[in-house]
Structure 1
């Protein structure tokens, strides 16, 4: 029996592994310390040019090791220093981002925002928000004294607005039906906007033909960029939805961001004063605070996610791409140092007329968000490390354990018809997501 119990003890190989790791760590530290001292000694000798250099009787060299520490020359550009764009590709990217940054400025008209609120059932919205806020507060109190509710009252107002907008107000458009016979239509390309359409903010018009040969009617679908025009048309795809909804969030007093994604999608971020952070909101999907929706839900790979507000711009890609090895696409539109410069440039331009106190507050907010985004990277790396086991290391394979922090029940896209979703590669992890370059239905 004693022999049997002894067989169940931890194997000696585990102890040897720990000891080996400690020895390698200590050896690495000694080698690193020696190299640093050698570099300092060498620089000190070179700086004394006024006196002859002493004879070199041989500096003790560190013992050779198989895995030498990496050179520090690769770390010279860390942290990145914002660099102005120089090449044509970076300049084009800069011009595009500056143009996109103008979108939130269109919502900063108090008179028009007051008019926009006339279409919103405010009593219904505030009643729902008050009820939800009280429920969340009661749940927090039931957990113990001093517990904080999950969301604040203003957050509940935005959530109620999102539900009303999605379920009762705005309509999704794939192919507009034929106005003459109400039959389905087929996309045939683009058309130049008419003067009336252009005056209302439509820079492009999609053209559709009735599927019935004997009808032959053509339908025009103007893509309006004016959020106040969209209050009248009340239809569109994700571009129109995010535009109009973000404007209404601004009208009810929330701070808003318009998030542009290079893979042809847009959504909203709303600042939660209760949580002191920006919250992801996708009104098309009625999604609240689900930043992993697009990668782990839709199965998409993302490169750039840039958030624009009236206060500036921020690269928030790290909020939406947590697993870079699986869901990230190469960011090749500009060097990262150039992107930092563009973000700083837009922020400086948007905040030029603000008071010092307001600038200081926004800079502090930027620093907190940067820590939040870096925290996502650290958490992702930590999760990958935790998944490893000694058996994985010895065999060279990785474990397939799921992320315990990942959101559950994330599915493919729900807005739009099945053909359109498949063409965009947004059907979810269980479907084949291959984007169609000839897709005629952009965001």
Structure 2
């Protein structure tokens, strides 16, 4: 009996404990619920007190249409762009053109072509000049103090020597090709379809000229060859041929190379400097080294797009060449900026698809450094404009007096390659000249 009573007391105690636990849990839930409701009520009151009064709640508003455009937030215009694939026909055409242009550096990866290029280059002369210049730069750096770095490395000096030889001794500029019969000047008369042998050697277009001597009257064909191997034999041309052949020679002597396309009908080269850890502007036509402001401050051109292509991908490098957008920038209306970013990413991914993870990681690091460099040019431009503002000008309501920009002095005063007439027709004679090309100009780049 005692054992039975003890069991009943234990069961009753357990029931009381469970009941107490349930009551405590319910009270805890009520406390949390009350606290949560108080917080929500407080937030709602604060929101109503800080928000403007509603216009009208008496008339019910119709629900928004499914095809209504989202609101425009002007304050969000400068957020990072999200790449978007092209949607309209114009953007698709621009994408296809850039993909086609991106194939140019791939042609220079032919070992047979590079071996042939090394046969025509006076390597001993190039390397001797590079070694001498490299030692001079190193001595200058050491004279400035311990730990100073030379302005350029040995491989940079190799390209500088190659640039001088190419401009002065190897390649020839062509305005109007002379008459092959009497060697008299010729006059441009239009374009002609390429002959089969010309097309086989990479000429997609042919310029046609007529001898200026009436008694001769012979016609002269000038094929525009795109094959670097053919250019090693012809050794003549204008911007397109010069950049094509010179970039290939830079590749042959071991440098990483870019081919830069400009939407205003010019092309040039960029070479990667391991010493400086950045891409360097090189224009073989002008024998120009590291003068990216040549085309704007020098030639007086306005630019829209400058796209660099290499075997590793593509990069929009326009900001390197336009330091004053308000003065030298043209409207970029070929595609939306988000679409251009998508095209660059697409070409880059295609070129790097078969690379090792280590190589991809290295190139991504280079891309990040270059993006910082390009952003820095924009910041420097703004800082330079601000530095020209003086307190007296603000107080007196005058515009700020212009101060010389030391970096702009690296640009030349006008173009040196090509005839004066051709330069004037392209608007590249110097600062302040027109950037509009003559509709009768028969000389593309």
Fold shared, TM-score > 0.5 on shorter chain: yes
- Which of the numbers 49, 62, 76 marks the counterpart of 1:59? 49
Contact 2:192-2:208 at 8 Å conserved across structures:
yes
> 2:257, 2:210 → 1: CA distance?
38
- The gaps in structure 2 that reach 5 residues or longer are 1-36, 53-71
After superposition, give the CA deviation of every residue in 1:196-216 in whole Å (9 maximum; x if it has no partner): 101000000000000011101
Q: 1:190 to 1:99 in 2, by over 3 A?
A: same
Structure 2 SS opposite 1:385: helix
Deviation at 1:407, TM superposition (A): 2.4
After superposition, give the CA deviation of every residue in 1:306-332 in whole Å (9 maximum; x if it has no partner): 000000000000000000011000000
TM-score scaled by length of structure 1 = 0.84
Give the match for residue 231 of structure 2: 230
- The gaps in structure 1 that reach 5 residues or longer are 1-47, 63-70
* 1:29-428 → structure 2 map (5 Å cutoff): 54-55=44-45, 59-60=49-50, 74-75=75-76, 78-394=79-395, 395=397, 397-408=399-410, 410-428=412-430
> Larger Rg: 1 or 2?
2
Q: 1:217 to 1:141 in 2, by over 3 A?
A: same
Q: 1:250 to 1:390 in 2, by over 3 A?
A: same
Runs of 4 or more, structure 1, over 6 Å off, are 50-53
After superposition, give the CA deviation of every residue in 1:56-94 in whole Å (9 maximum; x if it has no partner): 6952589xxxxxxxx975216611111111111111110
TM-score scaled by length of structure 2 = 0.84
Structure 2 SS opposite 1:139: helix
Q: 1:359 to 1:214 in 2, by over 3 A?
A: same
Contact 2:291-2:410 at 8 Å conserved across structures:
no
Q: 1:168 to 1:75 in 2, by over 3 A?
A: same
C-alpha RMSD over aligned residues: 2.1
Give the match for residue 12 of structure 2: none
Structure 2 SS opposite 1:407: helix
> 2:297, 2:74 → 1: CA distance?
37
> 1:265, 1:238 → 2: CA distance?
7
Contact 1:422-1:434 at 8 Å conserved across structures:
no
> 1:373, 1:54 → 2: CA distance?
47
> 1:304, 1:156 → 2: CA distance?
29
> 1:214, 1:61 → 2: CA distance?
90
Contact 2:172-2:236 at 8 Å conserved across structures:
yes
Give the match for residue 440 of structure 1: 442
Contact 2:90-2:335 at 8 Å conserved across structures:
yes
Deviation at 1:400, TM superposition (A): 1.8
After superposition, give the CA deviation of every residue in 1:109-131 in whole Å (9 maximum; x if it has no partner): 11220121100000000000001
After superposition, give the CA deviation of every residue in 1:313-354 in whole Å (9 maximum; x if it has no partner): 000000000000110000000011110000000000000000
Q: 1:430 to 1:323 in 2, by over 3 A?
A: closer
> 2:133, 2:47 → 1: CA distance?
79
Structure 2 SS opposite 1:126: helix
Contact 2:291-2:411 at 8 Å conserved across structures:
no
Q: 1:289 to 1:73 in 2, by over 3 A?
A: same
Deviation at 1:377, TM superposition (A): 0.2
> 2:373, 2:47 → 1: CA distance?
53
152-161 or 405-414: bigger deviation? 405-414
